[in-house]
Structure formats: structure tokens, C-alpha cells
Amino acid sequence: MIKVKNLHKTFENLEVLRGIDEHIEKGEVVVVIGPSGSGKSTFLRCLNLLEDVTEGEIYVDDEMINSPKVNVNRIRQKMGMVFQQFNLFPHLTIMENITLAPVLLKKMTKEDAIKRGRELLARVNLAEKEDAYPAQLSGGQKQRVAIARALAMDPEIMLFDEPTSALDPEMVGEVLDVMKDLAKSGMTMVIVTHEMGFAREVATRVLFIDQGIVMEKGTPAEVFGNPQNERTKNFLSKVL
Amino acid sequence: MAQWAAGFSDTFYKCFIKEDRYKLLLSGISVTIKVSLLAVVIGILIGMVIAMCNLSRHKLLRIVGGIYTDVIRGTPSVTQLMIIYFVIFASVHLDKWIIAAIAFGVNSGAYVSEIIRAGIMSIDKGQMEAGRSLGLNAFQTMSHIVIPQAIKNIFPALCNEFIVLIKETAIVGYVGLMDIQKAGDFIKSATFIAFMPLVGTAVIYYVLIKILTLILKRIEAALRKADAR
């Protein structure tokens, strides 16, 4: 579903990604771990073209998406993105946050979008909040709305960029529960996170990225249970 | 005291009543208001375009926007007014006040563009990213997500610019328009009295701007209220 070939990303003089090759199959839940500054968030943002790719190729459904000829907006409609800082639209109600894109992009009529919005809010346990504004919600609730908002576009892939890093500890669980539920439903997911317990439980595959390359990958049992690379061992010894 | 009062009412009569001179001021007020209102609309339109240029990804547009702001800010508005009136619109038959309004709009646009640019840049870049990540294009994200939030930040500065603009129009006499200032000046020359017409002019501007300020404050309060949720 996603193929990444020799992905490089350079900011000014800093080479953040130094050649990443990866295949992500439909239905996989890939968790990306690594120390801060390792390039894992940049990798995720490149998948959604929020960062220009310096070199290399990214294919989604066999279409090279970092070609200048491709309509970026159409590609992004296939990929939902959840941000560390939620990035809800503060001037819109929760329901408007969710229905804005599907209605504006003519995927649905307003009535259908609201109906779908209610289903999604029920799914993230926030049915009673549709008329609230983002400022009235807790961090965990905001992030669940952000997930519902991304799902409203019926994406094929969901990307999560440290979705629980900005949350108070007691709210992490409620967001992870929604993500687990989503993984169970068969959604293809790429998740950058520091939640190792979650990675172990939910991931079909774990990538350890450091210094801009994939240092180690495998099933959670392999990466957490029997890491081969010295850097992986070192990193896991600090976070586990 | 009585003598002073008699003198005052005499000058007042000479300056404002005699030969229907108040009518000069009244038509001056209408000229000032007409020019200012049209100029503010033109200024906002130009300001939006220039702000978009300055925020654009394309280098050429940023250069164009940069030059525009630079030239307008670097030259006196009287000079700009006269160039637009006597050079650019020399052979175009438009009402004087419309040409003047265009000149003030062109001038104001440079300042408005900076206000809009600052307002848009005050919105967290995560908002743009969130919009784009849903598949909205840059224009849709701007118009539905960024600008509605930026307006609340922009509005107070824009009000200030509007007020500055009204006072700035006091130079339209240079191209032969009879606004409030010019009317006061005309009365001064006709009566050989300086105090009454000039202070009268000041009072008229002050009252106009006071009324406007109160209206704008109301609108701002309404905007804030809609935000306090």
C-alpha cells in the first residue's frame, strides 16, 4: 500500500532522513520508535507530503506521490493525519470540525456528513460534545475529536504523529483505546509514539529509526524481546 | 465676559453662518467621508492581494509585494496623491474624489497588507497543516480556517489604519478637492480669521473620528463576545 524508496530529507544543511526503504502493507499497524531528533516524525510527515521530499520516491497504491504532477490534495484525502498538538479548528464546533472537509470537498452532503459525524463521535465516546468548541474539551477529548475528524474523510491510511505526547498521563489511555479499536477494525496505521506498551500490544511491525535510517525492524516480539542492533538495545534500555 | 461672548458669536457668525459658509463645511464632510470610505475598501482589497503576495511560495510574487510596500512606505502620501492624480490619471476622466480615493487606497493597501500578514502569521502553522492534511487546498484552508481566526487579531489594527486614513485625506486639497480641511482653509482666507475656522475644522474631524471609534469598538466587542466560548 505504501512503498518508500531511498527517502532522503534535508533541512538547510541538516540531513534528517538518510535513505529509508520501507513497504507497508494494507492492514498493517506500523509503530515507529526512536530517540528524539532521529527523524521519525519527519518520516511520517513525508508520507503525507507535509514535508517536501529531498530525494527518493514514495508510492501509495502504486502511484508515485512525490511527483510534481500529482494532485497532492487528492492523495491527502486518502491519508488521515493526527498531530501531537491536535490542531483542532478553535473557531468551529466539534461537529463543524468533523464535517468541514467532507462537505467542502463534496464527498458528502451536509446532512450525510453530520450523520457520519455523529457515528464517529459515538465511536470515540464523545457523542454529547458535538456542539462544544475545542476550548471546552480536555486534551484527551481533543485528540479523540482529531481522530474522528481524520476518519470523516474515510481515509485508507491513518498517520499518527506522537498522538499522546502532549497529553496529561491520565488521558493517554483513552486515546490509545480509540487507536486500538481502530487497529482492530483493520485500518492501515503508521504511528510515531513513545508508548512502548502500546507498540508491543498493537503493532504488527515495529521500526526503530535513529540517525535518519531504519536501524532495526521486526515484530514487537523481535524488536523488544531480542534486539540485534546496539543502538536499539541502548534506546530500549532507557525507555523500557 | 459679555464682551468676549459677543466677539465670539460675531466671529462664529462670520465664519460659519454668513454667506452660508457652513454649507462649505457640510459638503467638505461629505467629500472626506466619501473619499475615506472608498479608500478603505480599495485599501483592504489591495492589502489582501499584497499580503497574499508577501506570503506566497513564489519568489517573484514576494518580490512584487516587497517592492510595493517598500515604495509606498518610503514616499510621502502627498507625493503619491499628486503623482496618481496629475500623472497616472492625467488623461482619465473620472470624478476627482474617485481618483483621490484610489490614491489613498493604494497608500493604505501597503499598510493593510502588513497588518493582514501579521494577523495570518499569528495563527499557528498547525492549523494550515491540519487543513491541508484533510485534503483541502491552500486557498480553502486559508479562507475557511486561517482567515476566520486571523480576523479577530487583525480587526483592531485595521480600525486604527482606518482612522489614520481619514486624517490622511486632509491633503486632498492638493488636487483641488474641497474636503473639511480645505473648506476650513477657504473660510480662513475669506474672513481673515484663523482661530475659528481651524479649530472648527479640528472639532469636526475629532467628532467624526470619535463616532467612528465608538462604532468600531462595538463591532470589536461583538467579535470578542463570539470568541468567548
Contact partners, residue B171, CB within 8 Å, separation at least 6: B77, B78, B81, B181
Q: Using an 8 Å Cβ cutoff, are B28 and B182 in contact?
A: yes
Torsion angles phi and psi, residue B16, rounded to 5: -115, -25
User: Is B153 an 8 Å CB contact of chain A?
Assistant: no
pLDDT at A45: 96
The answer to the question of residue B206 being in a domain is no
How near does any CA of chain A get to the CA of B124, in Å?
9
Average pLDDT for chain B: 93
B136 in reach of chain A (CB within 8 A): yes
| Residues A87, B140: C-beta atoms closer than 8 Å | no
B165 to chain A, any CB pair closer than 8 A? The answer is no
Owning domain of residue B58:
23-179
Nearest CB to B130 within list A74, A83, A104: A83
Residue B214 lies inside a defined structural domain of this protein: no
- Give the integer Cα–Cα distance in Å for A37 and A209: 10
Domain count, chain B: 1
For chain A, say whether B143 makes contact (Cβ under 8 Å). Answer: no
Averaged pLDDT of chain A: 94
Q: Are strands A157-161 and A188-192 parallel, antiparallel or unpaired?
A: parallel
Question: For residue B229, is pLDDT > 60?
Answer: no
| Closest approach of A123 to chain B, Cα-based (Å) | 20
Of the candidates A73, A75, A69, A43, the one whose C-alpha atom is nearest the C-alpha of residue A162 is: A43
- Paired with A53 in beta bridges are none
Report the range of poorest mean pLDDT among A30-34, A142-146, B153-157, B203-207: B153-157
Domain-located, residue B9:
no
Within 13 Å and on the Cβ side, how many CA atoms surround B114? 13
Q: Percentage of chain A surpassing pLDDT 70?
A: 100
Mean pLDDT of B218-226: 81
Please report whether residue B6 resides in a domain: no
Could you say which of A48, A90, A100 has the minimum Cβ distance to residue B133?
Answer: A48
Q: Give the list of residues 6+ apart from residue A76 with CB closer than 8 angstroms, or none.
A: A48, A49, B132, B133, B134, B135
Closest CA relative to residue A200, chosen from A184, A212, A182, A218: A218
Question: Whole-angstrom Cα distance, residue A32 to residue A44?
Answer: 9
Q: What is the pLDDT of residues B30-71, one digit of tens each?
A: 999 999 999 999 999 999 999 999 988 899 999 999 999 999
Cβ-defined contacts of B94-101 (< 8 Å, 24+)? B96/B175, B96/B176, B96/B177, B97/B31, B97/B34, B97/B35, B97/B38, B97/B172, B97/B177, B98/B38, B99/B175, B100/B35, B100/B39, B100/B169, B100/B172, B100/B175, B100/B177, B101/B34, B101/B35, B101/B36, B101/B37, B101/B38, B101/B39, B101/B42
- On whether residue B186 sits in a domain, the answer given is no
pLDDT for residue A106: 84
User: Contact A41/A192 with Cβ under 8 angstroms?
Assistant: yes
Q: What is the pLDDT of residue A163?
A: 96
Closest approach of B144 to chain A, Cα-based (Å)? 9
What's residue B228's pLDDT? 54
What is the rounded distance in angstroms from the CA atom of residue A101 to the CA atom of residue B55?
24
Predicted TM-score (pTM) of this structure: 0.82
C-alpha cell at B155: 480587526
Predicted local distance difference test score (pLDDT) of residue B67: 97
How far apart CA A120 and CA A181 sit, in angstroms, is 12
Question: How many whole angstroms separate alpha carbon A224 and alpha carbon A88?
Answer: 34
* Residue corresponding to grid cell 467579535: B223
Residue B15 placed within a domain = no
Specify whether the CB–CB gap between B107 and B142 falls below 8 A: no
CA distance A215 to A232: 7
Within 8 A of B141 by CB-CB distance, chain A residues are: none
Mean pLDDT (whole number) for A148-177: 95
Interface predicted TM-score (ipTM) of this complex, two decimals: 0.92
Q: Per-residue pLDDT tens for A88-139?
A: 999 999 999 999 999 999 889 999 999 999 999 999 999 999 999 999 999 9
Asked if the model's pLDDT at residue B220 lies above 90, the reply is: no
Whole-number Cα distances in Å, A221 to A33, A215, A218? 14, 16, 8
> Would you call B136 and A101 a contact, using CB atoms and an 8 Å cutoff?
yes
What are the tens digits of pLDDT across the range A52-67? Answer: 999 999 999 989 999 9
The distance from CA B208 to its chain's CA centroid, rounded to whole angstroms, is 13
- Give the integer Cα–Cα distance in Å for B221 and B214: 11
In a domain, B173, yes or no: yes
The better pLDDT of the pair B8, A158 is held by: A158
Q: Is residue B221 part of a domain?
A: no
Cβ neighbours of B223 in A, within 8 Å: none
Read off the CATH number of the domain in which B112 is found.
Answer: 1.10.3720.10
Judged by CB atoms closer than 8 Å, whether chains meet at B133 and A150 is answered as yes
Residues 76-95 of A with CB under 8 A from B: 76-77, 79-81, 83, 85, 87-91
What is the end-to-end Cα distance of chain A in Å, rounded?
A: 31
B213–chain A Cβ distance below 8 A for any pair: no
Verify whether the Cβ–Cβ distance A133 to B229 is below 8 Å. yes
Look at A87 and B136 and tell me if their CB atoms are within 8 Å.
no
Closest CA to B46 of B68, B17, B76: B68
For residue range B75-113, what is the model confidence (pLDDT) as tens digits? 999 999 999 999 999 998 899 999 999 999 999 999 999
Report which of B128, B113, B131, B111 is spatially closest to residue B61, judged by C-alpha positions.
B113
Q: How far is A72 from chain B (nearest CA, A)?
A: 8
pLDDT for the residue B227: 63
